[in-house]
């Protein structure tokens, strides 16, 4: 498997996403940050249209996509790929929260991801997550949600505890590979630093 990691980063500089970059460096994860220094317009542009162009120009067989400003990495790519293999390499594995699939984190075959983004780009209204859930309800798309949070953990009310530098989900008994503080306002300069700091400090970030 040839895996590329990509993330939308429509921020003035890397100073806007310190916990993302620090945790990626800690775990040796090379991330293709697209959109840096460019002005944010809309989720449809950042998560669907621009993402489609990124995937089209890449040669990797597989893609891991994640938000940036509100994400902390918890494991390296060897563990991530191992867990993806254990799940039998679904064409698209997508993050899951209590309310349903979360479009802020997914992993899968690059060509399957391109097909997914093409379908979502042709839909009208809503944000990418709303479009995704509508497409799934109408069976225009098929994805495998990461129900047990093997890789993707959304901070959604799950019972999470930090143990020796890792986050454990006590509801599923799993150790996710990244944690995503989804939803709510994200400052163009500070992202969601205030919401992330309590867990970040327990993980050893200042």
Sign of CA dihedral 146, 78, 91, 71: positive
Domain total of the chain = 1
Q: Which residues pair with 180 in a beta bridge?
A: 71, 154
Name the band, by pLDDT with cuts 50, 70 and 90, for residue 36. very high
CATH code for position 91: 3.90.550.10
Output the average pLDDT for the chain.
Answer: 95
- What residue numbers bound the domain in which 18 lies? 3-202
- Above pLDDT 70, what percent of the chain? 96
In this prediction the pTM is 0.95
CB 77 within 8 A of CB 24: no
Q: How far apart are the first and last CA of the chain?
A: 34
For 165: left if phi > 0, alpha if psi spans -120 to 50, otherwise beta; the answer is: left
Buried residues in 2-32 as b, exposed as e (16+ CB within 10 A) = ebbbbbbbbbeeeebbbbbbbbbebbebebe
pLDDT of 58-73, one tens digit each? 999 999 999 999 999 9
């Amino acid at each position: 498997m040839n895996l590329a990691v990509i993330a939308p980063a429509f921020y003035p500089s890397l100073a806007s996403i310190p916990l993302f970059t620090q945790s990626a460096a800690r775990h040796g994860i090379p991330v293709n940050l697209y959109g840096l220094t460019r002005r944010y317009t809309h989720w449809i542009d950042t998560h669907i249209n621009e993402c489609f162009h990124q995937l089209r120009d890449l040669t990797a067989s597989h893609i891991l996509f994640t938000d940036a400003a509100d994400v902390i990495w918890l494991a390296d790519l060897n563990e991530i790929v191992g867990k993806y293999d254990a799940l039998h390499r679904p064409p698209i594995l997508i993050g899951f929260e209590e309310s349903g699939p979360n479009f802020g984190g997914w992993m899968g075959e690059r060509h399957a991801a391109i097909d997914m983004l093409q379908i979502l780009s042709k839909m009208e209204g809503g944000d990418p997550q709303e479009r995704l859930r509508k497409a799934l309800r109408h069976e225009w798309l098929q994805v495998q949600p990461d129900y047990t949070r093997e890789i993707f953990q959304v901070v959604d009310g799950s019972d999470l505890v930090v143990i020796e530098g890792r986050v454990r989900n006590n509801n599923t008994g799993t150790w996710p590979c990244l944690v995503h503080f989804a939803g709510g306002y994200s400052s163009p300069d500070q992202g969601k630093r205030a919401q992330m700091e309590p867990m970040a400090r327990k993980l050893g970030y200042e």
